[in-house]
Amino acid sequence: MAFKQVSYLLLVVLFLPLLFESSVVVNGRLLLPNQAKPDRKDYVAYARWLASQNSWGVLSTISTSMEGSPFANVVSYSDGVPGHGQGIPYFYLSTLDPTARDIEKDHRASFAVSEVPVGTCGSLDPEEPPCAKLTLTGKLYVVPNNTHEADIAKDALFSKHPIMKWWPKNHNFQIYKLDIENIFMINWYGGGKPITVEQYLQYAKMEKLAMTSFM
């Protein structure tokens, strides 16, 4: 009897992954690539999808401690409550961090995300064009406390990164927002794709992506 039970468990361990071979678990959610990924020719949809599906990226600022050199920092972010992203990245940064200190002197910043963490690039190298990458450039500002936007941003960040609620209060964490001025995205061969800030922010089809985001 014991032998049969062990054999059954081995079969389950070996074959259960095959049931989910078309799915990828990313950041605690089940992502179904074939359903969630927009058409690569729908550039605005693709950019908004990248922003909503990711949970971290690389935020670059103008360094105050290195005499104006660029400084890149891996940070967590959210563009909205999971499934209802608005495309605007919000960050929860401490003034003990160089990035927040840089912003006090120069608000210029760029934020880049890749399709790699989403899990839908397969065996592609991250630099290959079909493995999409999105760079949002603009100015980074503190979101004032006790405002409607602060409440929205906090819900967006804490729903995607619950641990943030427990980060030290004495580290002076504040909510920051990237005011987007330029968008650069590559999701296929042929260079950067044409996307205006207005198109990106006013994209009205996110509800269709919400069904497959953060399942």
Domain ranges of the chain: 41-210
Superfamily of domain 41-210: Electron Transport, Fmn-binding Protein; Chain A (2.30.110.10)
pLDDT of residue 83: 79
Burial (CB count within 10 angstroms: exposed 0-12, middle 13-18, buried 19+), residue 208: exposed
Give whole-number Cα distances, 65 to 74, 96, 102, 141, 176, in Å. 18, 13, 8, 19, 20
- Read off the tokens for 15: 């074959």
- CA separation, residue 87 to residues 64, 125, 155, 212 (Å): 28, 25, 15, 16
User: What pLDDT was estimated at residue 131?
Assistant: 98
CB 178 within 8 A of CB 140: yes
| Both structure tokens of 53 | 């599906």
pLDDT in tens, the chain (215 residues): 555 554 555 444 444 444 444 444 444 344 444 447 999 999 999 999 999 999 999 999 999 999 889 999 999 999 998 878 899 999 999 999 999 999 999 999 999 999 999 999 999 999 999 999 999 999 999 999 999 999 999 999 999 999 999 999 999 999 999 999 999 999 999 999 999 999 999 997 554 554 444 44
